[in-house]
């Protein structure tokens, strides 16, 4: 399902016991959902998160932010 062009973040997250101890990560990366949520909680901008984690896609970060109710 999409909301305003953003795919639901749940569709971008995978769990594999062989990757990061089975923590939820963004598909195709080793960046955990917890890491991105912590960055958003610290009020990091999407660009700051992308600069810190270049394997992420902008749509990944925006989908998580949108899921949290931050529609900016």
Cβ–Cβ under 8 Å, residues 30 and 12: no
Domains of the chain, first to last: 2-67 (1.10.10.10)
pLDDT under 70: residue ranges of the chain: 1-9, 67-72
Share of the chain above pLDDT 90, in %: 65
What per-residue confidence (pLDDT) applies to 32? 95
Per-residue pLDDT reduced to its tens digit, 10-29:
778 899 999 999 999 999 99
Residue labelled with tokens 């305003």: 4
Q: Residue 49, Cα to own-chain centre: how many angstroms? A: 9
Three-state secondary structure call for residue 23: coil
């Amino acid at each position: 399902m999409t909301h305003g062009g953003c795919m639901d973040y749940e569709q971008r997250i995978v769990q594999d016991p062989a990757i990061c101890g089975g923590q939820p990560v963004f598909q195709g990366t080793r960046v955990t959902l917890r890491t991105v949520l912590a960055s958003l909680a610290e009020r990091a901008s999407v660009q700051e998160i992308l600069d810190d984690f270049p394997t992420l896609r902008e749509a990944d970060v925006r989908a998580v932010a949108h899921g949290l109710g931050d529609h900016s």
